[in-house]
């Protein structure tokens, strides 16, 4: 393959945008994209802040993610309607990274995950994500939901827990011990916001419930704090402005800095000890596992989101281009203070319901978030932490898919239930790095096992196939159905090692074998050698030309009167009859028949 042909074989980028524009894009389409972008932008502002805080970083980093990654992924990805930004699925992976390596380590891990995603896209691995079974994905998401909900309990109840750690069981213990420090005002605000967000959709007013809930919560917290004489007094409701401070270019302030994202080197940002990170091979090696988990989960989330969007809009996404777009977004965003991003299903569904026509709506959504940062940073600082916790409770409940989880436990096969519980337990009790590694491994094992069950070897009787009628008694015909690979080759070929001693010629019908790997070739070579030693002739029928080439490269060639291959079963029957007649004419055959 020449260099030009190699580059032409690579996946394209921006296929989502190009497909939308190729169908014709006018002012009416732009108007719909603008309206959809305004809608999801208002939803993305509180979600981005809440998810950044849940991850363990200041809220502006979530907003920067929606601004930068949301734009880059929309313009370079392969899905027309995906809206990307910080998502709840990443909280369980990113929170331990922040605890161990700080903000700088998190951004470096995000960049590394971006590189992995680009490589997955360039090597056309996008369609392999569809082989991740549903129990694995459901186990991940349900476990993530449980961890997110537990992490929000201190803010919702106003507990004095200090900084939570990396381990779920320890965090639960800390929360239980801290229950006597519950703040009734924080609990009241959180419960009020939760109630508003749950009841608001019943009024069928086209304003997002999170926006209404957080505005109501901010107003309630402001009134309470004014009543108590200021936020600094004991018992006041904690807000974004009272918890977070910032310092940029000598300027300082509380809450969210009212400036757009600016270029920054991730490795110069503070680690877990507050000092700038020291970029080293040891750090890269330590972050490689979390980066792989981020990339795998990001790929699964974004492509599942694209599949759902395709079903809602009757369109088709490009999975490889989407992975490249996601990778580019995660490679660039950390240089502007953004954290890990992927496609968000809730925002994508809102985008579609709002009438979006192209990725332009996602770009508009990013501009809305940018405008909120620049113009409304002071107001965003009034949002109480308990209100954000209430929002994350709803997100956790929605992503848990509790009804599907329970239904799978009741109705799925035992193997699927075991995988579901293993992935769920690893996600909750240990961490997502281990859970993703084990989950991907279990997905591969489950896929191999089920594919191996599809591959069978059956001995054909004379009356079961018109092509094998009137065969001599010393000829047996076997039919192999399914792919021959390392998980199925030995099982499929074992029965051929056990042929009747009276059989002198074996025909193997392989027209239903779509592929053959190296393990199968070695097993087939062992079979041919054994049959040659036993004086049994072998005819392979229906082999695909590319598999014949593979056999020749492995040293399996035709041997006159001993081993051959034919295009059809009828041709194989003709060869077997000729060999049988030739064998009958030999002196050895004549002496055996005389005896």
C-alpha 216 chain-centroid distance:
36
| Residue 359 DSSP class | T
8 A C-beta contact, residue 108 and residue 334: yes
Q: What is the pLDDT of residue 413?
A: 86
- Residue for token digits 């932490």? 385
- Residue for token digits 């792989």? 292
Q: What is the pLDDT of residue 595?
A: 39
Q: What is the pLDDT of residue 586?
A: 63
Q: What is the pLDDT of residue 75?
A: 95
The rounded distance, in Å, linking the Cα atoms of 478 and 369 is 66
Report residues of the chain scoring pLDDT below 50: 1, 7, 231-235, 589-595
Q: What is the pLDDT of residue 451?
A: 74
Q: What is the pLDDT of residue 251?
A: 86
- The pair of structure tokens assigned to 144 is 């993530």
Q: What is the pLDDT of residue 254?
A: 93
Closest of 390, 395, 399 to residue 196, by C-alpha: 390
The rounded distance, in Å, linking the Cα atoms of 18 and 318 is 11
Q: What is the pLDDT of residue 232?
A: 42
The rounded distance, in Å, linking the Cα atoms of 185 and 256 is 24
Average pLDDT over the chain reads 88
Q: What is the pLDDT of residue 463?
A: 53
| Residue 469 DSSP class | T
Length of the chain: 595
β partners of residue 377: none
Q: Which helix (H) or strand (E) holds 563?
A: strand 563-566
Query: 3-state SS string over 369-391?
Result: HHHHHHHHHHHHCCCEHHHHHHH
- Residue for token digits 């997502």? 432
Tens-place pLDDT, residues 185-206: 999 999 999 999 999 999 988 8
The rounded distance, in Å, linking the Cα atoms of 461 and 543 is 21
Q: What share of the chain is helix, strand, coil (3-state, %, to 5)?
A: 65, 10, 25
β partners of residue 343: 84
Task: Please report how many Cα atoms fall inside a 13 Å half-sphere around the Cα of residue 501, on the Cβ side.
Answer: 0
Q: What is the pLDDT of residue 309?
A: 92
């Amino acid at each position: 393959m020449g260099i030009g042909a190699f580059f032409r074989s690579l996946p394209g980028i921006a296929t989502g945008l190009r497909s939308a524009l190729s169908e014709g894009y006018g002012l009416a389409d732009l108007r719909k994209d603008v309206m959809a972008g305004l809608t999801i932008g208002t939803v993305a502002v509180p979600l981005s802040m809440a998810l950044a805080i849940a991850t363990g970083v200041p809220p502006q980093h979530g907003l920067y993610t929606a601004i930068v990654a949301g734009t880059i992924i929309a313009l370079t990805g392969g899905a027309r309607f995906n809206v990307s930004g910080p998502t709840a699925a990443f909280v369980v992976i990113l929170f331990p990274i922040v605890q161990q390596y700080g903000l700088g380590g998190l951004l470096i891990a995000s960049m590394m995950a971006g590189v992995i995603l680009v490589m997955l896209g360039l090597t056309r691995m996008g369609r392999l994500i569809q082989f991740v079974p549903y129990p694995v994905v459901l186990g991940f998401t349900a476990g993530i939901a449980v961890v997110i909900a537990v992490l929000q309990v201190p803010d919702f109840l106003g507990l004095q827990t200090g900084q939570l750690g990396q381990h779920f069981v320890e965090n639960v213990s800390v929360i239980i011990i801290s229950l006597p420090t519950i703040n009734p005002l924080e609990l009241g605000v959180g419960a009020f916001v939760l109630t508003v967000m749950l009841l608001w959709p019943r009024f069928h007013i086209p304003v997002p419930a999170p926006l209404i809930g957080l505005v109501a919560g901010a107003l309630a917290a402001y009134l309470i704090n004014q009543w108590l004489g200021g936020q600094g007094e004991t018992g006041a409701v904690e807000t974004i402005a009272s918890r977070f401070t910032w310092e940029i270019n000598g300027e300082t302030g509380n809450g969210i800095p009212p400036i757009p994202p600016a270029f920054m080197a991730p490795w110069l940002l503070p680690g877990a000890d507050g000092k700038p990170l020291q970029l080293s091979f040891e750090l890269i090696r330590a972050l490689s596992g979390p980066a792989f988990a981020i990339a795998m989960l990001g790929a699964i989330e974004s492509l599942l989101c694209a599949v759902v969007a395709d079903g809602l809009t009757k369109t088709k996404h490009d999975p490889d281009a989407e992975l490249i777009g996601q990778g580019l977004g995660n490679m660039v965003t950390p240089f502007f203070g953004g954290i890990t991003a992927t496609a968000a299903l809730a925002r994508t569904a809102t985008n579609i319901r709002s009438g979006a026509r192209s990725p332009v709506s996602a770009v508009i959504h990013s501009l809305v978030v940018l405008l909120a940062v620049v113009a409304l940073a002071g107001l965003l600082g009034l949002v109480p932490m308990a209100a954000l916790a209430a929002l994350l409770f709803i997100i956790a409940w929605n992503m848990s898919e509790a009804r599907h989880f329970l239904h799978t436990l009741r109705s799925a096969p035992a193997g699927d239930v075991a995988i579901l519980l293993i992935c769920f337990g690893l996600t909750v009790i240990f961490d997502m790095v281990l859970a993703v590694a084990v989950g991907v491994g279990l997905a591969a094992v489950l896929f191999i096992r089920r594919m191996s069950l599809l591959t069978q070897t059956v001995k054909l009787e004379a009356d079961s196939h018109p092509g094998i009628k009137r065969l001599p008694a010393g000829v047996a015909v076997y039919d192999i159905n399914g792919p021959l690979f390392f998980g199925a080759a030995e099982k499929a070929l074992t029965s051929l090692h056990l042929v009747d001693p009276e059989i002198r010629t074996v025909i193997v019908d392989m027209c239903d074998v779509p592929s053959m790997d190296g393990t199968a070739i070695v097993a087939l070579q062992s079979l041919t050698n054994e049959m040659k030693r036993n004086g049994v002739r072998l005819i392979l029928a229906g082999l695909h030309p590319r598999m014949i080439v593979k056999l020749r490269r492995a040293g399996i060639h035709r041997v006159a009167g001993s081993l051959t291959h034919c295009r059809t079963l009828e041709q194989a029957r003709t060869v077997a009859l000729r060999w049988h007649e030739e064998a009958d004419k030999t002196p050895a055959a004549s002496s055996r028949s005389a005896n």
